[in-house]
Structure 1
């Protein structure tokens, strides 16, 4: 009964308009992802490692980055082994009870983080753009 009512109200062009809007809704996603891939491939991203809120290391992650492991000792009887390879980084091993940072595995995109709370170790990926380039792209004016 409901289908008969809907069939009376439905027009062919309604379907065309709805289908077009659905397809067009994905255009920004495609454009931004293509732009993001080009930028990250050129500059590479930066991995910032901090312990207890203080930055201890900074690594550039790009295709030329060789495999590297580094061990951090954030406190007595605590350790974190961080592994880097190419454009990705991870906490390979630590002695925390929950192993959340280890289970997070590889991260490689700006905005991603790997956190080991008991050791207060944070790995954060940020875009490789320099601050000068960011200022040129920032044309937004906010007024109140």
Structure 2
């Protein structure tokens, strides 16, 4: 094992190290952009959760401390169901009958930009921020980072 590591270290060139460092630093760029977008949301902005099935919005709620705890059932198709739970400032897919349970395992979401997806049911729960006029803040901006 140690011989293999020594072999790879001997065969590395100085440019390899530079490339590895650049890729490592670049891997943090999405986290920095997401953090910047969250910090630029006004305090008076409303946090909105939408539930869509096959791209059609079927439920919409403002997530705030005043939002009551609520639970409801959606049936995208015959034999499929999702139980959605809203609890104040957060929302989740509490239960469904999809085979992989990825939407359930995602858990609670509450921050703009977060999503929970159940692909077999074509169900998407999205969180976004709106200003007081009802216009979405940071409406799907494309960010291009030159390298």
Which TM-score tier does this pair reach, normalised by the shorter chain? Answer: 0.5 to 0.7
C-alpha contact 2:129 2:136 (8 A) present in aligned 1: no
Following TM superposition, by how much is the alpha carbon of 1:43 offset from its aligned partner in structure 2, in angstroms? Answer: 3.7
Structure 2 portions without partners, runs of 5+? 1-33, 138-147
Does the C-alpha gap of structure 1 residues 93 and 109 become closer, same or farther in structure 2, counting only changes over 3 Å? same
Q: How far apart in 2 are the matches of 1:83 and 1:45?
A: 16
Larger radius of gyration: 1
Q: How far apart in 2 are the matches of 1:72 and 1:101?
A: 14
Structure 1 portions without partners, runs of 5+? 1-28, 135-144
Moved over 6 A (4+): 29-32
TM-score if structure 2 supplies the norm length? 0.63
Q: How far apart in 2 are the matches of 1:121 and 1:132?
A: 23
Q: If each structure's helix is expressed as a fraction of its own residues, which one has the higher value?
A: 1
Task: Give me the CA root mean square deviation.
Answer: 2.7
C-alpha contact 1:43 1:62 (8 A) present in aligned 2: no
Classify the secondary structure of the residue corresponding to 2:65. Answer: coil
State how many pairs are aligned: 105
TM-score if structure 1 supplies the norm length? 0.64
